[in-house]
A and B are shown apart, each in its own frame.
Chain A
Amino acid sequence: LTNTSISDAQEMETIWTILPAIILILIALPSLRILYLTDEINDPSFTIKSIGHQWYWTYEYTDYGGLIFNSYMLPPLFLEPGDLRLLDVDNRVVLPVEAPVRMMITSQDVLHSWTVPSLGLKTDAIPGRLNQTTFTATRPGVYYGQCSEICGANHSFMPIVLELIP
């Protein structure tokens, strides 16, 4: 009942350690190259700063004048019929379509994450650090997202709404 016939297989063990390692390296090198290629240069038209607080977002449009506003979630009692509970906000982020936009994202207090899944965006808001994400939206409409890094009691109640106008 002992494993006399399945021990001491030194050659096999060497092969099935070295070969997968080589395969993984062959996968990793192009993958890393692609990872850096995705951080492309697209010369954004303008820049918006998005600052996370507990538990709301502040947006600063400072390229052409100084527009700064807070974006709080609409409490359920303030919803109009047909609004989306936990998703609609009082002040949306208004952007033009077909314009490359650079978002600079940071936080005032704790970690947050600025997310708009339908545009493929997720960037952490880290206090003391500026993170950048760029995107170009092609379709007008309203895009919703929610804070994606646990940040306290109302983490589920600080959504992000982008309104893209043609």
Chain B
Amino acid sequence: MLPRAAWSLVLRKGGRGRRGMHSSEGTTRGGGKMSPYTNCYAQRYYPMPEEPFCTELNAEQQALKEKEKGSWTQLTHAEKVALYRLQFNETFAEMNRRSNEWKTVMGCVFFFIGFAALVIWWQRVYVFPPKPITLTDEWKAQQLQRMLDMKVNPVQGLASRWDYEKKQWKK
């Protein structure tokens, strides 16, 4: 990219060079500035190109430009569209068009989430040490019984929710 841009600056032959050709191939073909810079004006919030899109006009386009200097009510719709296309690269509808990029993005996101899930599963099976004995249900039940016997937090906490007469949780 960089050498091509450098060469194009060297080989410029007066005026805007190859960039001014209004062809159907696109603007970045054949050198000129790098693509971010050619299209930086084609944003909804900055639709202000520095120069007309087409500067090398053939005879027909030149005649149209002369006609533009007169009253615009004399221009047909097709001529107005042609003049617009000479001045600007894309219409607002074209520059704001949607793309399918979101599908790619979401696909990659889900792929990596799935990959992370695989890694986590593998860790659980092969890496993590065994759980402490205090996390078994039996031990937890004994702990809870001990805490209720000690009457921990009897005002608003755990023991306050246990009914000591009926030996069950309060409803």
Contacts and interface: CB of A to CB of B under 8 A. Distances in A.
Interface of A: 76, 79, 81-85, 118, 139, 141-142
Contact of A142 (B132, B134, B145, B150): B150
Main DSSP-derived SS at the A contact region: loop
Given A84-B146, A118-B152, A139-B151, 9 more contacts: A76-B132, A79-B133, A81-B138, A82-B143, A82-B145, A83-B146, A85-B132, A118-B153, A141-B152
Contact of B139 (A82, A118, A139, A141): A82
Contacts of B153: 118
Contacts of A82: 139, 142-143, 145-146
Contact of A141 (B138, B142, B143, B150): B150
Interface of B: 132-134, 138-139, 142-143, 145-146, 150-154
Given A81-B142, A82-B143, A139 B134 contact: no
Nearest to A84: B143
Contacts of B142: 81-82
B133 A76 contact: yes
B134 A76 contact: yes
A79 B143 CA distance: 11
Nearest to A141: B150
B134 A85 contact: yes
